[in-house]
């Protein structure tokens, strides 16, 4: 039975991916900072909850111990938007900016390094969740977007350095999530698709293992429909 670690698994895209893999009879280890929400989600969907903060080295070590010597899939999904409402980059509080980079860049890179031996044993798959803000200069998105751009490049380098793995940065598109709502406080985002709509694109990626690189879920989903 293949094994996956998914960060940010208590809600949004992480929850949707965890549920889809459980239905495929994967062993899924899900992590998130909110213990109560994570355990409730894990009980509902049928995965193993490993609560904690991925910025904490001790928690990353606990995840590695729970995963064991062989890991088929790591999805670095946990991230933070940062300050809400979104301020101009020149006015962004530096402590908050550091926190965005710590969560969105350093934590996934550190967790990948910790789990890399297990991924290599399985010739596994690494997925780092990206954003269109990593490539488009949207006003107010300087902190989050630049952090995701840094993660994109780190992901690309990991792909080159580890050719035995399938290494992907994936832009899931705008989804109806709590974090996306924080980006637009007080606005109605019900026109955004639910996270579950992006799942088929990820499953195609896992099944077909195209060359390592950056992919958009919309493009993968379009290929599935055609």
Q: Do 162 and 116 contact (CB within 8 A), yes or no?
A: yes
Q: How far apart are CA 56 and CA 119, in angstroms?
A: 20
The set of catalytic residues is 144
Three-state SS string over the chain comes to CCEEEEECCCCHHHHHHHHHHHHCCCEEEEECCCHHHHHHHHHHHCCEECCCCCCCHHHHHHHHHHHCCCCCEEEECCCCCCCCCCCCHHHCCHHHHHHHHHHHHHHHHHHHHHHHHHHHHCCCEEEEECCHHHCCCCCCCHHHHHHHHHHHHHHHHHHHHCCCCEEEEEECCCCCCHHHHHHCCCCCCCCCCCHHHHHHHHHHHHHHCCCCEEEEHHHHHHHHHC
- Between CA 158 and CA 164, with CA 159 as vertex, the angle to 5 degrees is 110
- Looking up tokens 């899931």 gives 172
């Amino acid at each position: 039975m293949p094994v996956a670690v998914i960060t940010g698994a208590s809600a949004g895209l992480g929850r949707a991916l965890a549920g889809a893999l459980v239905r495929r009879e994967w062993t899924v280890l899900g992590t998130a900072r909110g213990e109560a929400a994570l355990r409730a989600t894990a009980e509902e969907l049928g995965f193993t909850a490993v609560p904690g903060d991925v910025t904490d080295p001790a928690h990353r070590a606990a995840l590695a111990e729970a995963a064991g010597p062989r890991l088929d899939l790591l999805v670095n999904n946990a991230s933070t938007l940062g300050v809400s409402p979104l301020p101009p980059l020149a006015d962004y509080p530096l402590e908050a900016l550091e926190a965005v980079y710590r969560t969105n860049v350093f934590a996934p890179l550190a967790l990948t390094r910790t789990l890399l031996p297990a991924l290599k044993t399985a010739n596994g798959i690494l997925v780092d969740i990206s954003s269109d803000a990593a490539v488009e200069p949207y006003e107010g998105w300087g902190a989050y977007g630049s952090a995701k751009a840094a993660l994109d490049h780190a992901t690309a380098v990991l792909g080159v350095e580890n050719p035995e793995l399938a290494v992907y940065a994936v832009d899931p598109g705008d989804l109806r999530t709590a974090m996306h709502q924080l980006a637009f406080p007080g606005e109605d985002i019900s026109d955004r698709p639910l996270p579950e709509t992006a799942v088929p694109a990820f499953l195609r990626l896992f099944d077909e293992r195209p060359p390592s690189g950056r992919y958009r879920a919309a493009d993968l989903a379009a290929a599935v429909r055609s």
